[in-house]
Structure 1
């Protein structure tokens, strides 16, 4: 068995020569076998990446075989993935709920009333309140974001909460 001139694909010049020799052929092979929908040039590049990752294990004489086998497997994996995606797209989400229609209507009305009550807060109160309750930020984080002190943030949140409570109680009694 003749000894190979280069025994390591990890040498840049050897890898470049393999890339130049097989890149276009590999892309064409994938294109002709699987079509353009699965991005054959991307899969060919992925195969070269895998070759580079395993460069110390693969002799140059086996590089072509490795590339074509790897690229073929990557395309087959992409086809399997697309089948799974298509199967999930076929499943229709349920269009019903087990909730009482009256409850659903009340929930929508409350959401609207809550939005109206939020609009009655000052901008500073609304921002601090929403950062605290929706974004789950701490008072210190909010103070840092807004460039104020922690006490100012606490005041804004609690005064905003008091206004919201009064507004929602007033709406409930209407």
Structure 2
């Protein structure tokens, strides 16, 4: 793949791939990093990717890369959560409770099925209506409602404990 072909591939698909990754992880920086890593990998391996025919391949590669990042992040979070700080009296009780709730929320989002997480984050992060989510994901409004109900039920159950 030549420089011009790669530039065309990058210009055509980078923003769409980054948005797709953002919906999967709800982290702008992580989505940008993974999208950049994807195109860097394509360039470094000199892969012959057709911008039109191989669109699904790009999304599959991006999906695999974000799953790998989630796995690594989950391992890091488990390790960080296992560290006990002996003399940490700098925070108030409310701050500690908030941080614990934030950690639980992150864990639930990671645990949540991808389709539910995508619909939930589009609703909460972007304040989209169910009809707008349905249109973007090319599914019915009922499917969005079902995904949201599942996501909210999981959040309630996990955060109650």
Q: Which range, TM-score by smaller chain?
A: 0.3 to 0.5
- Normalization by structure 2: what TM-score? 0.46
Higher relative contact order (CA 8 A, sep 6+): 2
Structure number with larger C-alpha Rg: 1
- Normalization by structure 1: what TM-score? 0.43
